[in-house]
Amino acid sequence: MTQNPRMHNHKNAREWVSVLAKYREPDTMRSSFELGVSVIPFIILWTMACWMASFSYTAAFVIALLNGGFLLRMFVIQHDCGHGSFFNNRTLSDWIGRILGVFTLTPYDVWRRTHSIHHSHAGDLDHRGIGDVMTLTVEEYQARSTYGRFMYRLYRHPLVMFGLGPSYLFLLQNRLPLGLMKQGAKYWVSAMGTNIAAAIFVFLIVYFGGWQVLVFVALPTVLLAASVGVWLFYVQHQFEETHWKNTEDWQLHEAALEGSSHYDLPLVLRWFTANIGIHHVHHLYSRIPFYRLGDVLRDNEELVHCGRMTLKQSFKCARLDLWDATSNKLISFADLRK
């Protein structure tokens, strides 16, 4: 991190909420444009990749990887729909989100609920487990058995976290409304409806294009978007000076500002990730459309430096594993041994 949010934020977290309220209204034309420039290239590249699979698996694979960037952008739009920040019409937002959820393999209503829980409890040590990256405190880790420690270390290993983990999450875990299985039929309908639509889509892919299209086009597109998406979610909250407190000391707006990073990406990556790196602002006021987050930073320079992290700096976050309440920092397993 280049700046400590506690040192460079002159307004307190709650005061920022009233400042950010003026950015909340979505523009229907702008939202429609952003949807179009994400979905239309996705369809074009998908068609090109399927056609190229007849001549060159390598070319089809490369196009599919590029298309993963557009699928990632579609996921962020689905994310904004879930927050009600993409269109003023809630019904329209929900159905756009559900349709996009078929392509992102994410049941919209299930994800919307678990993500709402994440926003409501991010940084609260007493409310972990739904919609977040599992993070143990030093004390919890040390209290585990040898096997328990091994499993946690395996879970936090970069090859699992950003490789096998995203594949498991999007291809398998999302097929059931885990965490909400006893919360009503709505979440089962969401999960099963997405599964059926995705199954039909896969059947059509194989029927018209063959297994090679599934292997060299569909899977690379989905898995690249999934891995990058998990990485983004990880660095948005898993950085050294993040914010964790027990419920009695936890405060929503403070946790939003201090426990979420400003992932300052290069312009092209910022476009493909739809400004989701401006995550501290998003957590402070989730009703702001992604295309207005840049306006927030332009008008409020304090927020530019608050929790700022560059692409190069972010790679150090992959080695952080445990919350140390003594130093109020995330530390690595190597730090614990020292």
* Mean pLDDT across the chain: 94
| Domain total in the chain | 1
The predicted pLDDT at position 12 comes to 82
- The pTM of this model reads 0.93
Domain containing residue 281: 5-337
Confidence of residue 5 (pLDDT cuts 50, 70, 90): very low
Query: pLDDT digits over 98-136, tens only?
Result: 999 999 999 999 999 999 999 999 999 999 988 899 999
Q: What is the pLDDT of residue 45?
A: 98
pLDDT value at 7 more than 70: no
Q: Torsion angle of alpha carbons 71, 29, 304, 256, nearest 10°?
A: -70
Q: What is the pLDDT of residues 156-177, one digit of tens each?
A: 999 999 999 999 999 999 999 9
What's the pLDDT score for residue 166? 96
**Which residues touch 156 (CB under 8 Å, ≥6 apart)?**
321
In this prediction, residue 8 has a pLDDT band, given cuts at 50, 70 and 90, of: very low
pLDDT band at 10 (very low <50, low <70, confident <90, very high): low
d(CA 249, CA 47): 53
Instruction: List, for residues 307-324, the tens digit of each pLDDT value.
Output: 999 999 999 999 999 999
Residue 11 has pLDDT above 90, yes or no: no
Residue 185: half-sphere exposure toward Cβ, Cα within 13 Å? 0
pLDDT at 2: 47
**Which two structure tokens, joined as six digits, stand for 51?**
């056609």
Report pLDDT for 129. Answer: 87
